[in-house]
């Protein structure tokens, strides 16, 4: 009995992770979508230039989710 061909989409999860500019663009798009669709803000503290604001975000994250390991 012949088997139907399987779509290549099922094998994409096993491919290499995106790197460089492609990965950054995908991450930024995912963060933008999270904000617009769910009201969820994803922030990398290293991208915040103001020391007070960066520390405030770290404090909020630590309070809500606990301290990050190794930081």
Q: Is the pTM of this model over 0.85?
A: no
Provide the residue range defining the domain that includes 32: 11-40
Domain assignment present for residue 2? The answer is: no
Q: Are residues 69 and 50 in the same domain?
A: yes
Domain assignment present for residue 56? The answer is: yes
d(CA 31, CA 24): 10
d(CA 43, CA 65): 14
Domain assignment present for residue 68? The answer is: yes
Q: How many domains does the chain have?
A: 2
14-35 residue pLDDT tens = 777 777 888 888 888 999 999 9
Domain assignment present for residue 30? The answer is: yes
32-70 residue pLDDT tens = 999 999 999 988 888 899 999 999 999 999 999 999 887
The answer to whether residues 53 and 39 touch, using CB atoms and an 8 Å cutoff, is no
Alpha-carbon torsion, ordered 7, 26, 29, 60, to 10 deg: 120
d(CA 37, CA 30): 10
Q: Are residues 48 and 36 in the same domain?
A: no
Q: Are residues 36 and 56 in the same domain?
A: no
């Amino acid at each position: 009995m012949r088997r139907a061909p399987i779509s290549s989409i099922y094998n994409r999860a096993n491919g290499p992770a995106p790197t460089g500019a492609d990965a950054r663009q995908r991450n930024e798009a995912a963060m933008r979508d999270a904000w617009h669709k769910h009201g969820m803000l994803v922030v990398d503290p290293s991208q915040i230039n103001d020391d007070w604001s960066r520390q405030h975000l770290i404090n909020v994250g630590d309070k809500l989710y606990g301290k990050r390991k190794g930081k």
